[in-house]
Amino acid sequence: MSMIKCRDCGADISDQAQACPKCGCPMMADSQIKKSDKLIRKFKLLTKKQWYLLSAIAVLLIIGLICLVNILKPVSIAQIAKIADKNGYSYSLREPQKDRLEVKLDNCTITFTVVSDDDKTYEQIIYNLNQQSGVEILSNGEGFGYKYIFTHYYDWLNFYSLDYWHGDIKADVTMDNKKTVDEVVDFLKLIGFKAPAI
């Protein structure tokens, strides 16, 4: 049996001791010490570039999480009314329920309503439109948190319609001119909705 120094307090202790009797520091076998020293050295040897890279990844993860929370957070009709008011749009909000909002744009009016569970599903609406004569679906799609259908009615009336869903809010707009859709898309972006790829 030989004496060794405690790596913590420097006291002389037996090499058979499990811990230092003076400070309580646990004694490790040589192989364990070598492994832990290697890990510490590896950690210390990270270059500046590697630290910058790790920091950048952490920042991107945080930004991604914030964006995800913003995308998933529900938007209320009352919030849309506030944004419309703040940006000088004329609007009409049904009180006291606050479940229907009409926002007047330059060339059309967007109607926002709260979608109920018994409303027709997106797939049913597409199916029904495809069965009608004088109706053409110009574009439709689904994305993260939204879906839309852009339709041209050309039978006895010639107009365009955009149905847009964001969470539990549905936006409907009827336009007499296809170019008006740009104005609608700009307003949807303004209130934080994902713009449909029309």
Whole-Å CA distances, 84 to 21, 79, 150: 74, 9, 23
Q: Given pLDDT bands bounded at 50, 70 and 90, which one contains residue 73?
A: low
Residue 65, pLDDT > 70, answer yes
Residue 70, pLDDT > 70, answer no
The larger pLDDT score, comparing residue 174 to residue 24, is at 174
Q: Which CATH number do you get for residue 97?
A: 3.40.1000
Where are the strands (E) in the chain, listed by range?
A: 3-5, 12-14, 90-93, 100-104, 109-114, 135-143, 146-153, 159-166, 169-175
Only one residue has tokens 């001119």, namely 177
A 10 A CB-CB count for 168 gives 15
Q: Given pLDDT bands bounded at 50, 70 and 90, which one contains residue 190?
A: very high
d(C-alpha 162, C-alpha 141), whole Å? 12
pLDDT of res. 108: 92
d(C-alpha 161, C-alpha 178), whole Å? 9
Find the range with the poorest average confidence among 39-48, 59-68, 125-134: 39-48
pLDDT of res. 35: 58
pLDDT of res. 54: 82
Looking at the structure, do residues 105 and 168 belong to the same domain, yes or no? yes
151-181 pLDDT tens trace: 999 887 889 999 999 888 999 999 988 888 9
CA proximity to 87, closest of 108, 103, 71 = 103
Residues 110/69/67/195 CA torsion (nearest 10 deg): -20
Looking at the structure, do residues 92 and 67 belong to the same domain, yes or no? no
77-121 pLDDT tens trace: 889 999 999 999 999 988 777 789 999 999 999 999 988 765 678
How large is the average pLDDT for residues 4-19?
Answer: 79
Range of the domain at 121: 77-190
Residue 18, pLDDT > 70, answer yes
Looking at the structure, do residues 28 and 54 belong to the same domain, yes or no? no
Residue 129, pLDDT > 80, answer yes
Residue 23, pLDDT > 90, answer no
Q: Is residue 129 part of a domain?
A: yes
The set of residues, in sequence order, having a beta carbon less than 8 Å from that of 140 and lying 6+ positions away, is: 126, 147, 148, 149, 150
Looking at the structure, do residues 141 and 175 belong to the same domain, yes or no? yes
Spatial strand order of the sheet with 169-175 comes to 90-93, 100-104, 109-114, 169-175, 159-166, 146-153, 135-143
The total domain count for the chain is 3
Looking at the structure, do residues 64 and 101 belong to the same domain, yes or no? no
